[in-house]
Structure 1
Amino acid sequence: MKQTASLSFPFRRFWKTLHFHGLQVPVQGAHVSKPVWKHIWRGDYEWPELRALSALMRPEDRVLELGLGMGLVSGVMARRHPGARFTSYEANPALPEAIARLHRTNGITNVEVRSAVVAPLDQGATRSFRLHRHFTESSLVAGAADLEAVEVPVHDPAAVFAEVRPDLLVCDIEGAEEELIPVLPLAGLRAAVIELHPHIVSRAGMARIFGAFLGAGLVPVVEQSFETVVAFERVDAS
């Protein structure tokens, strides 16, 4: 059946999968809300991130992804660059099964999924991850619409960077970037694509985030940044 924007949303039950930038995306499940379904259907789900990654990613990159979600962003890029290696973190316990199904459906084997968060260890070896009705808004940051909290393992940022040695960082963690980005060892990165959340992160927090990237020699790539997604790339000081 052809996807057509003229069909009303209830007809979504007739599709088991949708086409999305070279992927077949399984879309039957409680995690696929009406807004998410429509964005996949239209092909514009997380498109600012995909646009920036399409410009900055290289075929053999080691990618550290924080906030995997449904796995579509890394899924698209992993299919385009089979020589790349993704280490992808997602804390939401409702999503690993859906991610695994996406990977099986599309033959994706170069994405390693870890059910944990990367965060400073000063608050302990686990953190309360707050689940929202829409998985896209679940986060370490408390919100008025949270449904419940689950304890998730914490992986030390320095240890993760030392192990993965990422060339490229992808980060979409719903406001937790304010505490995380300033403590990351960013000096080894070539590029980063970060979704910022100004409705959660303070202006002072934004200054610390940008300061951390600039201090590591990574400057904003204005032409590949859009809406709340900011791309950074290393500039040779010479």
Structure 2
Amino acid sequence: MIFKQYKRAVDDMQDYLSLRGVQIPDDPQIITQKVKRSILAERYEKDEVNGLPKFIDPKDRVVELGAGIGFVSSFLVTQLGVRNAMCVEANPVLCEFARRVHKANNIENVSVVNAVALTDGQEPGTASFFVREPFWSSSLDPTPGYEKKIGVPAHRLSEMLRDFDANVLIVDIEGGEKHLFDGVDLANVQKVYLEVHTRKIGLHGIKKCFDNLSALGFAYDQRVSCGGSVLFRRAKSR
């Protein structure tokens, strides 16, 4: 009900933006002028999508945390041939928009789940999510400056990964990566592609995140990593 106004006349939307082969509805309620300029200049998620072709296989089963507008998942399917993906996004408005992006690109093999991912030490239920403008600044961080607080279903990451039988995890959760891998079972995941938000978590937060992944058996892959987009692969036992 909260987002009823957002859904008005969305089916009549005619204008689209094109980014790396992905069609994105040009809806000013989501695609602000700043976002639009980034899309038109092909800067939007540039480092992330540049790295994806270097390690993604069409047979991968991908879970994406922080799916945003659905661009990355659409790129995975339309440009890299991924057959199975699940988007997890805390912002329900973005979930709805991601579904529109998928529909605009004739994508039927991606599910969108409105949820927050928990570690194994956290209890499932409802989490507080803080909505900000621009949308990519929204997060679990309660620091003042947010527009509103909403309740979002919260599920253990390990259970979502197991249920989907994921072998690839993509993470872009605005600083939530600091604690995400603290006491979590990554099940059959072999590759973790992570957007690091240094300004939010600082060097100590990055160290904690990387240390946790190392303890889980993952190693930094220099060949793919670029800027804030970092790939970790599960290291094979010698």
> Is the Cα–Cα contact under 8 Å of residues 124 and 156 in structure 2 kept in the other structure?
no
Contact 2:169/2:192, CA 8 A, preserved across alignment = yes
For 1:182 and 1:79, how far apart are their aligned partners in 2? 33
Equivalent residue for 1:193? 193
Q: Tell me if the contact between 2:76 and 2:82 (Cα under 8 Å) persists in the aligned partners.
A: no
**% of aligned pairs identical?**
29
Q: How does 1:1-238 map to 2 (within 5 A)?
A: 16-120=15-119, 122=122, 125-186=125-186, 188-238=188-238
Q: Is the 8 A contact 1:82 1:110 kept in 2?
A: no
Structure 2 residue ranges without an equivalent (≥5): 1-13
Tell me the CA shift for residue 213 of structure 1.
1.7
Aligned partners of 1:60 and 1:81 also within 8 Å? no
Where does the alignment leave 5 or more consecutive residues of structure 1 unmatched?
A: 1-14
State the SS of the aligned residue for 1:200.
helix
Give the Cα separation in 2 of the matches to 1:124 and 1:188: 21
Q: 1:184 to 1:51 in 2, by over 3 A?
A: farther
4+ aligned runs moved over 4 Å, structure 1: none
Q: Is the 8 A contact 2:130 2:141 kept in 1?
A: yes
Counterpart amino acid of 2:17? L
Q: CA deviation at 1:96?
A: 2.3
**1:188 counterpart SS class:** coil
Secondary structure of the 2:182 match is helix
Tell me if structure 2 keeps the 8 A contact 1:187–1:216: no
Aligned residues between the structures: 224
Offset, 1:237:
3.0
Q: When the two structures are superposed, what TM-score results if normalisation uses the length of structure 2?
A: 0.87
CA distance in 1, matches of 2:158, 2:18: 37
- Cα drift, residue 158 of structure 1: 2.3
Normalised by the size of structure 1, how large is the TM-score?
0.87
1:63 touches 1:87 (CA, 8 Å); kept in 2? yes
Segment drifting more, 62-71 vs 187-196? 187-196
What residue identity is the alignment partner of 1:205? G
- 1:132-165 CA deviation, whole Å, 9 max, x = no partner? 0111110011233211110000011221122122
Q: Following TM superposition, by how much is the alpha carbon of 1:18 offset from its aligned partner in structure 2, in angstroms? A: 1.3
Question: In structure 2, how many angstroms separate the alpha carbons of the residues matched to 1:209 and 1:21?
Answer: 30
